Amino acid sequence: MKKPFRLASAIAVAALATVSAYAGKPLAQQHNPYLAQSYNNQTHWDDAASDSTDIAVPRGFFEITPESVQLIPNESVGLPSMMDTVAGQDIQWWWSGFGLRKVKTMDGKLVEIARSDIPVKLPNYAPISADERRAQAAAVQKFIEAKDEKGLLEYLKSQPNRASSASADQVANGAVYAVLTRDDAFIGCNGRTVFRIDQVDPKDPNSGMKPARFTTLPVSLFDNERARAKTHLPGDMSFGMGMSFNGFIVINTLGGKVITLNRETLEIIDSYTTPGADESFMNSFATGPEANGGAVYVASNTTMYRLVVDAKGKIRDDEASGAWSAKYDRGVPMGAPKIGDGTGSTPTLMGFAPEDDKLVVITDGAKKMRLVSFWRDGIPAGWKQKPGTSSPRIADQIEVDMGPGQDIVQSEQSVSIYGDKAFVVNNILTKEEPQLSRDSFYVNLVNGATRPGPVGAAGFKWDNAKHAWTQKWSRNDVSSISVVPMISGGSNMAIVDGYFAGRWGDRHHIGMDLDTGKTVMSIRGGANPMFNGMYAPVKIDSQGNLLYGMAFGMVRMDTSKMKRIEP
């Protein structure tokens, strides 16, 4: 089990991350030999999709100052950001919307080393300059401060870079889920293509990058009717991505398929279709070393699966191969940001030490979601199915209670896990009011800024002796709008980007103690939309600075240069 470090020790570990490829990674968790040997080599940080790290983030209460922040503007919404150490230097790879940026920090400043763009296949799109992108952020801030939702929407729709549909464009033409390989090749998917961007010289931290290579997936792998029936998206497309521990690229589609590809050539090897006629995949997946390195943990809107990729890249769903499936409560469709019914979570693996229960964790689709853990390998001998569960493979489930008045609790975010602790948020508004547009970029800008946002965060602990969850605390005064939360194990806190209820329009990154839920860190960004995480996973660099792609670009936030304020 991952053990929380003392804060001073954790800071020392973080400092060593620049020279040790394993620093910041839970030591009990096995590394995928085909991916970068770093703490952050894919969208959800690691193969377990833990969204956590041992690295400490400073506790305290801060306010942004000009010298504490650096921004590299993006072309569109930029979600994946990853890190590797090359020749002793920390290098960041960031998907900035329609291209891959290679970045490092020099003398406390972000420096772009190289970039590799992909062709933009979107109608009526025209690129804008970095200065124009900064001007867009300033204009959006004025609309937010004036609470002018109509003016904001009209402004976004008038922009040449399709600003109003930026989030949807990221799925269609950008990358949401991606991996960084052991030789620092970036592999991502968008729409119906898979692409790979290699380094010119993987051993040189300042190397340029090669043009992207593409594979277009055949029409036969997509089912528009099934995708449209279960989601509000216009058609079927590739969605999640990972790398099996035996070296095959794996992707899933909205329409219920899992596909394997050769990691070098991008040649399609095999595909699997879910048996349920109305099953869809609306999240990515975790991979693990189980089943001879072929374990893929993927959840449809009805069923949790462990599929197995064999030594030839073929996908197996039979028990003899180590595969299994288990039903869970799919619930009913809900409003944005939920895509459809069922889980809003990318499955997360939990338990890596010999004495730990080996679990895979999601939130289900119930009106008040439950935190559900499945036995990810063998079910213990003599195990009896727990009352109220849908399958004997469910180790335990517990309703997530966010406090009085929170009758609907649902998340579109993966469960963050560190050791035996788990953290979840609520993304559903207590009282939903009509929006002028369903465009998710616009909705994310106004929720919490010009109108109240969803509220709710909660912490849980797993008991290996009792094989059971305990809810440790909940908050109904914290609002996480859309980001994937992270856990800093070194600081024993979960971090979200959002608001304090009742202080709408005043944005903060908020750190909550994993044991008590108490606010132990906040970084005030105010009304500036530059600090809107916009669906991205919250991430940090090896020094504990927040560093990830936000609404208008990659932002690095250095608390040592911020103004300390009273909580």
Query: pLDDT by residue for the chain (567 residues), tens digit each?
Result: 333 333 333 333 333 333 333 345 454 688 999 999 999 999 999 999 999 999 999 999 999 999 999 999 999 999 999 999 999 999 999 999 999 999 999 998 999 999 999 999 999 999 999 999 999 999 999 999 999 999 999 999 999 999 999 999 998 899 999 999 999 999 999 999 999 999 999 999 999 999 999 999 999 999 998 888 877 778 899 999 999 999 999 999 999 999 999 999 999 999 999 999 899 999 999 999 999 999 999 999 999 999 999 999 999 999 999 999 999 999 988 776 787 899 999 999 999 999 999 999 999 999 999 999 999 999 999 999 999 999 999 999 999 999 988 999 999 999 999 999 999 999 999 888 899 999 999 999 999 999 999 999 999 999 999 999 999 999 999 999 999 999 999 999 999 999 999 999 999 999 999 999 999 999 999 999 999 999 999 999 999 999 999 999 999 999 999 999 998
Can you give the pLDDT at residue 28? 67
Phi, psi dihedrals of residue 28, rounded to the nearest 5°: -80, -15
Say which DSSP state 529 is in. G
Going from the C-alpha of 480 to that of each of 311, 359, 485, 501, 518, the distances in angstroms are 41, 26, 8, 10, 15
pLDDT at 328: 98
**CA 94 to CA 355: how far, in whole Å?**
37
Q: From CA 27, how far away is CA 359, in angstroms rounded?
A: 17
HSE, side-chain direction, 13 A CA sphere, residue 55: 28
Q: What is the pTM of this model?
A: 0.94
- Smallest Cα–Cα separation from 326: which of 386, 236, 282? 386
Q: Exposed e or buried b for every residue in 532-553, given b needs 16+ CB within 10 A?
A: bbbbbbbbbbbbbbbbbbbbbb
User: Residue 469: is it exposed, middle or buried by C-beta count within 10 angstroms (0-12/13-18/19+)?
Assistant: buried
Residue in this structure with the two tokens 């055949």, named with its chain if needed: 218
pLDDT at 24: 54
Residues whose CB is less than 8 angstroms from the CB of residue 137 and which lie 6 or more positions away in sequence, other chains included: 528, 529, 530, 551, 552
CA-CA distances (angstroms) from residue 185 to 39, 198, 200, 313? 16, 4, 10, 20
Q: What are residue 512's phi and psi, to 5 degrees?
A: -115, 135
Residue with tokens 């030594």: 311
Task: Report which of 488, 509, 490 is spatially closest to residue 498, judged by C-alpha positions.
Answer: 509
Parallel/antiparallel/unpaired status of strands 519-526 and 60-63: parallel
